[in-house]
């Protein structure tokens, strides 16, 4: 059910994003420029606002600019497909943005003396990087790893909602969101590794003769 909802939501967002993507392409804007701009926006929201405790503004800014991840992909598709460098740039900028978001959250929680919250944020940061690495490494070995309940969009959504609720005065909302995200991120790592393990068992060992 969650996967069906995710697909429907993405399809709905695509219908909204496509006219914007088409307009930017006509104006001469490249998908790579949108990728970099989106990352800069996330950095501003996370480090300029979230790290100082302005969680509502930070979460809103990060959410708006994180949506460029869908926009640049749509632009690349419309312009004939993503280039190798474009795919590399997009993945690299995603890691920078994610690090800024969870680093800013960890910093703010540390200033509040919330050591348990800092631990949760660091677990989210580390586990999120592993989630992405497992997928990239699997694809580099000729396999796939497009499974899991905590992909990048879901991770940012969970921490964003927690930040907004905390900013609006809901006690412990961010901390609960972080521990929830830590749990589902670790679970997703397990899901992806199990998925790759099943594929690897059906493939010949490296260097084996056919």
Is 118 known to sit in a ligand binding site?
A: no
Cβ distance 29 to 176 under 8 Å? no
Q: What's the mean pLDDT when you consider all of the chain? A: 88
Cβ distance 76 to 115 under 8 Å? no
The tens digit of pLDDT for each residue in 39-78 reads: 999 999 999 999 999 999 999 999 888 888 888 888 988 8
Domain carrying residue 98: 2-201
The CA distance from 178 to 27, in Å, is 40
The CA distance from 33 to 75, in Å, is 11
Is 146 known to sit in a ligand binding site?
A: no
Buried b / exposed e along 97-111 (16+ C-beta atoms within 10 A): bbebbbbbbbbbbee
Cβ distance 21 to 75 under 8 Å? yes
Measured over the CA atoms of residue 72, residue 76, residue 77 and residue 79, the dihedral's sign is positive
Residue position matching structure tokens 């996967």 = 3
Question: How big is the chain, counted in residues?
Answer: 210
Query: Any catalytic annotation for residue 94?
Result: yes
DSSP-assigned letter for residue 80: T
Which of 15-29, 60-74, 77-91, 194-208 is predicted with the least confidence, judged by mean pLDDT?
194-208
Q: Which residue has the higher pLDDT, 114 or 155?
A: 114
Tokens representing 149?
């309940």
Is 54 known to sit in a ligand binding site?
A: no
Which pLDDT score is estimated for 5? 42
What CA–CA distances, in Å, run from 9 to 31, 62, 153, 161?
A: 22, 19, 11, 17
Domain count, the chain: 1
Tokens representing 130?
């592993």
- CATH number of the structural domain spanning residue 7: 1.20.120.1760
Which pLDDT score is estimated for 10? 56
Residue 118 has pLDDT above 60, yes or no: yes
Which pLDDT score is estimated for 210? 45
Residue 210 belongs to a domain: no
Residue position matching structure tokens 């521990």 = 179
Residue 208 belongs to a domain: no
Tokens representing 166?
């905390």
Cβ distance 158 to 177 under 8 Å? yes
Q: What is the mean pLDDT of residues 113-129?
A: 95
Residue 82 belongs to a domain: yes
The CA distance from 65 to 43, in Å, is 9
The tens digit of pLDDT for each residue in 175-191 reads: 999 999 999 999 999 99
The tens digit of pLDDT for each residue in 199-208 reads: 998 877 665 5
Buried b / exposed e along 152-171 (16+ C-beta atoms within 10 A): bbbbbebbbebbbbbbeeee
The tens digit of pLDDT for each residue in 148-179 reads: 887 787 888 889 999 999 999 999 999 999 99
Task: Say what percent of the chain tops pLDDT 90.
Answer: 62
Is 117 known to sit in a ligand binding site?
A: no
Residue 206 belongs to a domain: no
């Amino acid at each position: 059910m969650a996967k069906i909802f995710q697909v429907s939501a993405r399809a709905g967002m695509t219908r909204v994003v496509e006219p914007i993507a088409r307009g930017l392409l006509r104006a001469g804007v490249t998908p790579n420029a949108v990728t970099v701009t989106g990352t800069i926006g996330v950095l501003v929201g996370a480090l300029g606002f979230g790290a100082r405790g302005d969680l509502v503004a930070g979460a809103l800014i990060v959410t708006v600019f994180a949506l460029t991840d869908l926009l640049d992909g749509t632009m690349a598709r419309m312009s004939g497909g993503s280039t190798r460098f474009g795919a590399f740039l997009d993945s690299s900028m995603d890691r920078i943005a994610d690090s800024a978001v969870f680093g800013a959250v960890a910093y703010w929680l540390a200033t509040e003396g919330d050591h348990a919250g800092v631990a949760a944020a660091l677990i989210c940061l580390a586990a999120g990087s592993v989630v992405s690495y497992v997928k990239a490494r699997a694809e580099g070995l000729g396999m796939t790893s497009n499974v899991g309940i905590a992909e990048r969009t879901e991770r940012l959504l969970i921490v964003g909602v927690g930040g907004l609720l905390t900013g609006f005065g809901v006690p412990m909302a961010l901390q609960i969101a972080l521990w929830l995200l830590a749990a589902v991120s670790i679970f997703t790592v397990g899901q992806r590794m199990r998925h790759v393990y099943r594929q690897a068992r059906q493939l010949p060992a490296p260097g084996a003769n056919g």
